[in-house]
Amino acid sequence: MREAAAVRAFLERDVPTGRILLINNSGIGTFGPFPKANLDRELAMIDLNVRGVVQLTGLLLPLLQARGGAIINLASTVAFQPTPFAATYGASKAFILHWTIALNEELRGTNVHALAVCPGTTSTEFFRNAAVGDVAAESALTMTPDEVAEATLRALGARRSQIVPGLANKLYTFFGSRLPKALGARVAGAVLGRRWRRQAHS
C-alpha cells in the first residue's frame, strides 16, 4: 500500500534517534442519524479513526520496541457507552479504548507502553467540523487542550493504560459505563436526538 510505503520511507529518513512518543490524535466525527449525515464520511471516519491508528502503530511498533517509548491514542468519553446520532464515531472510539488497553497489556514487561486518553468536551474545532454546533462554547464542563495535555502527561509518567481527564468526565464515564448498554443508548439517544432535531430545524 502506498500509505505504508510512505510511512516506512519517513521512518528510515526522518525519525531521529532516541526514545519515541507516538501520539495518534487525528480523528473526525459525524453527527446525525446513520447514514443520513454522509455515508462516505462515515467510512472515511472508520479509516482515519480506526484503521489509521492500527496501521501507523503497527508500522512504528518495531522501532518503538527497539528504542523504547510510548504510544498515546486519543479515545473519548463516548467510548464508554453506545452513542445514537454519533453511532460510528462512538464505536470508533470504543475500539481505540479497548484496543489500546489490550495492546498495553501485550507490551507489559517491555520498554514500551500504551495509553488511551478519553477526554470529554474540549475547546477545539472538532465539534464544528463534525456539524454538532459549538458544543465547547455551550458546556460549562469544557476543558482546554492544555488541561487535557497536562492530565495526559501525568498519566504517561505513571505508566497508566487509561486516563479520563477532568472530574466531571470521570463521573460521567463511571456511571455511564455501568448502565446496561440498551439503557445507556436510550439515554444518550434522548439527549443527542434533541440536539440533532434542534439543529435540523434551526
The residues annotated as belonging to the active site are 89
Distance CA 20, CA 64 (A): 6
pLDDT in tens, 170-190: 999 999 899 999 999 999 999
Domains along the chain? 2-200 (3.40.50.720)
Residue type, 99: W
Q: Strand, coil or helix: what is 75?
A: coil
pLDDT digits (tens, 9 = 90+) for 52-102: 999 999 999 998 999 999 999 999 999 999 999 999 999 999 999 999 999
The pLDDT of residue 197? 87
Mean pLDDT along residues 22-34: 92
Mean pLDDT within 105-116: 97
Residue 148: pLDDT band by 50, 70, 90 thresholds? very high
pLDDT band at 134 (very low <50, low <70, confident <90, very high): low
Sheet holding 69-74, edge to edge: 20-24, 69-74, 112-117, 162-163
Cβ within 8 Å of residue 27, ≥6 positions away: 45, 48, 49, 74, 92, 126
